[in-house]
A and B are shown apart, each in its own frame.
Chain A
Amino acid sequence: MSRFVPLIFRRRITTIGGAFALAMAVAACSPGTTGAPTAAANGGGPAEAINLRVSSATTYTRNFNIYSPSTDLAPTAGLIYEPLVRRNVFKGGALEPWLAESWEWSDGDKVLTLKLRKDVKFADGTPMTSKDVAFTLNIPLKYPELNTGGQTYVSAEAIDESTVVVKWSKSGRLDFYRFAAGASTNPPRIVPEHIWKDKDLKTWVNPDPVGTGVAALDQFTPQQISYKARADYWNGALPMKLIKIVAAGGDDQTKARLLKGDLDFATMSWPNAQAEYVARNPKTNLYSTYATGGEESLLFNLAKAPFDDVNVRRALAMSLDRESLLKLAPTGQNPANACGLEPEVYKDYMAPECKVQTSDPENAKKALADGGWKVEGGKLTKDGKAYDLSLKVVQEYTNWMAYGKGMQDQWKTNLGLDVKVVAVPEENYDPPLNEGDFDMALYWTGGSNGMYSVFSDQLDPATYKPIGEDSSYLNQGRWKDKSTVPLLDQLRATVGDDAKQKDAGQRLQRIVLDQVPYSPMFSSVWFVDMNMTRWTGWPVPGQTQFAPHSSLGPDLVLTLKNLKPVTR
């Protein structure tokens, strides 16, 4: 029997994955491997329940306190507690009404007046009022250490039955996105004051959740939480009676269950899904990716030679063929747009010259020559000084490891450069990046929280920290060029004025394109795995206004609402 051996732990697990992939490949050759789907609850008729897998847990803890300082809450997938606003990731992250019917800004965008829907009821029958909303919004103010959603407002109070006023000390418009599910870690989702008011939110576990959402708790077991759909939901009833959140375990487990039809839906990246999943039964098996608006980028350490020279950055960025890199680990991602915004999310704001960076070894060599650089013996040299280059990737991400090797090969082939690929364990990855201890690294940039969030994240000189100081997950590339300051100011000052936003946004995109402070590599996406044996009508990328992902709250509700049971 194998006992626990910490040092070889991770390697073993990876081997399991590899072995399973092999087993799956074998399975692909034998007939009848899809297996019979488990019978619907009522025996052969249309399905009444849907099985979702939303995390890699094998057991759940009964903690429905959504503000609890815990990473392993019982998953509610947005079915119980709901946010005030919905973020439309297909419209540049624009906020749309959800529990709040409308809102207005006043006093230099410092005051937000929210008008609430009047037809919303909690699952116990009590109507939701402005008092519940004000109570919820005051949670991060009362417990600053529970403010994991990063809220910046300073007060929130109920004015009348259905109006709430939220105040900021400076303009709050740019931080308002943090009210939306999926946009921040812990957005305010409205809880009933009459149940929550006397509890110590740091230790209370809210065993019987009551929310405004589309479902209510039916049964909790450590391996599965089942929710029953509410008939009196304000936004229309669901076509299914039960929604079961299954603790299916790790990726390999989940793959097997999806193939078997045990699960209807999972959120998990599946490299080679086309061959291993979809091709096995194209009628029922569906694998989709949805752009998050961000990308996996090649970060340069701008505070360090030779990366302080734009010619070097251009050459390194241009000599990579992103398309062929992705083939090394096909997860369904696409090459990223070179300007730092993804057109699926920001199509109305894109500068026309923004395209995917194509491989261009000739111009890459020219850029090096322009900067006075030479490649000698695999090293980048200038004025008699030679530079060793290295690239950091996360060891546990098999796709990043593959991309890293591929980038190394391409730099060698196209520029003759030797770049060392340094594989860093996941838990050790961030601190050196935050402290500027790297040459180049793969990292996430951007997102769908609007252009200001995207560009201020990496390009705000105000967040510049010298090498050795902790940059707290901002500007790890150490950008200190002041050219972005007026543009970020313009984005900040002109929220709501689409023309001015677009103007500033496009000029920032051009800075990313010309100056290459970082080089976007691959679009970052939400991965969705679906099995349509029991339910059809899943969204199709490019033709949908909501992304079927459990971290997006309202979007999952909209997805479920539009499903249809398969009649057999």
Chain B
Amino acid sequence: MSSRTRFLVRRVGFYAATLWSAITLNFLIPRLMPGDPASVIVRQLQKQSGQSVPPESVEAIRKLFGDPRANILQQYVDYLSSLAHGDFGLSVSRFPTPVSELLAAGLPWTLMLVGTTTVLAFLLGTALGIASGWRPGSKLDGFLSPLSTFLTAVPYFWVALIALWLFGLVLGWFPLGGGYDPDLYGRSGFFGSVLYYLAMPAATIVFSSFGGWLLGMRNMMITTVSEDYVLLGKAKGLSGARIMFRYAARNAMLPTVTGFALAIGGVLGGALLTEIVFAYPGIGYLLFDAVGKRDYPLMQGVFLMTTLTVLLANLVADSIYVLIDPRTREGGR
């Protein structure tokens, strides 16, 4: 067996094992949480109506939402077999809507929001990081580094709430929440309203996450700039831009690229807080809702999808690394 095949087999085996444990944990964790759907529903009814719930109702609700003490092993087997058929089951709280349908409805919104912002924040942060790491201590660096340290330290929800309050409520420039203007649904201005509603949540995410990329890139850049091959490039009289991008930045990028691949994997796990603060109709809010209502099938669907994308992104990151850095291939031998 060639070293390359052996490496591949080992990686695939590792991912298969991780996948199995992810699925099993995904099955177990919601069941270890306290509470069951029936009592959550009785509670909600009581709170909404301000009335006690008649015993006949309680009985019917318990009948409907099942006994949490059913045989767990059987549940596990059923779960695995339906997963194998690509069946995520039916949502409990939004019965009889299939979980897959709810996921499909939330997915585009999350992908659009978190996907674009992750790419934007990565590009912006990395570019600025290259610039400020090229000449550490320069005016630009002296401004950008403390700023990004500050930005990464500010809690995200705070940024989001301030933005919502300032631009949504006081100035009234942006809508207060939602993914689009429902009055334009299915009409000509719909796409424009989607972008309009996207602007503020997206801006807040970019605002609080590009600093992380910037700092990472800057620090790698500083290390690389002092390498001998950069010095050599300078001695050869290459242009500044060529050294900066082809010699220094390219090498400094390595960990950032991995980070980016992982961040793309995390996209589905999504911007939970963003979606809650801006009432954005994505996967994050779906999960928030499902946890509150003890909607196990929905929770599991979201978790599973998130885990799978993270795994996939890891695999991609691993492979990219092997491609762009020959040293890792050596290590796999």
Contact = CB atoms under 8 A, between A and B. Distances in A.
Contacts of B34: 425, 427-428
B271 A1 contact: yes
B182 interface: yes
A248 B162 CA distance: 19
A472 B61 CA distance: 12
A36 to B, nearest CB: 7
A72 interface: yes
Contacts of B63: 144-145
B201 interface: no
Given A144-B60, A425-B35, A23 B156 contact: no
A139 interface: no
A151 B169 contact: no
Contact of B276 (A16, A446, A449): A16
Interface residues of B, number: 85
Contacts of B229: none
Nearest to B180: A223
A155 interface: no
B105 A59 contact: yes
B42 interface: yes
Nearest to B102: A61
A139 to B, nearest CB: 12
Contact of B57 (A147, A292, A428): A147
A3 B58 CA distance: 36
B326 interface: no
Contacts of B281: 58-59, 222-223
Nearest to A33: B170
Contacts of B280: 58
Contacts of A205: 96-97
A523 to B, nearest CB: 10
Contact of A19 (B29, B52, B158, B180): B158
Contact of B52 (A13, A148, A445): A445
A551 interface: yes
Interface stretch (A116-124, A162-170, A179-187, A310-318): A179-187
Nearest to A57: B289
Contacts of B156: 1-2
Interface string B255-291: 0000000010010011111011101110011110101
Contacts of B294: 427
B48 to A, nearest CB: 6
A240 interface: no
Contacts of A186: 57
A415 B93 CA distance: 46
B96 A203 contact: yes
Interface stretch (B139-147, B171-179, B214-222): B171-179
A426 B293 CA distance: 11
Contacts of B52: 294, 444-447, 453, 457, 473
Contact of B165 (A71, A202, A256, A457): A256
A249 B165 CA distance: 16
A446 B51 CA distance: 7
B54 interface: yes
B6 interface: no
A186 B114 CA distance: 39
Contact of B170 (A6, A30, A453): A30
Contact of B46 (A13, A152, A248, A444): A444
B298 to A, nearest CB: 10
Interface in B19-67: 29, 33-36, 39-46, 48-61, 63-65
Interface in B171-204: 172, 176-180, 182-183, 185-186
A447 to B, nearest CB: 4
A223 B51 contact: no
Given A63-B97, A147-B60, A202-B96, A246 B182 contact: yes
Nearest to B299: A6
A4 B270 contact: yes
Contact of A427 (B35, B53, B65, B114): B35
B224 interface: no
Contacts of B168: 256, 260
A250 interface: yes
B225 interface: no
Interface in A459-497: 472-474
A1 B186 CA distance: 32
Contacts of B44: 71
Interface string B91-131: 01111110000100110000000100010000000000000
A168 to B, nearest CB: 13
Given A184-B53, A260-B172, A472-B55, 12 more contacts: A1-B209, A3-B269, A16-B273, A27-B170, A144-B60, A256-B169, A256-B176, A426-B40, A428-B35, A453-B51, A472-B58, A473-B58
Interface of A: 1-4, 6, 9, 12-13, 15-16, 19-20, 23-24, 26-27, 30, 32-33, 35-36, 57-59, 61, 63, 68-72, 144-152, 175, 178, 182-186, 202-203, 205, 219, 221-224, 226, 244, 246-250, 252-253, 256-257, 259-260, 262, 292-294, 425-431, 444-449, 453, 457, 472-474, 524-526, 551
7 contacts: A1-B118, A2-B271, A147-B60, A247-B178, A253-B277, A292-B51, A447-B49
Sort A-B residue pairs by CB-CB distance and give the 6 closest, nearest first: A427-B35, A249-B279, A292-B50, A224-B182, A150-B54, A150-B56
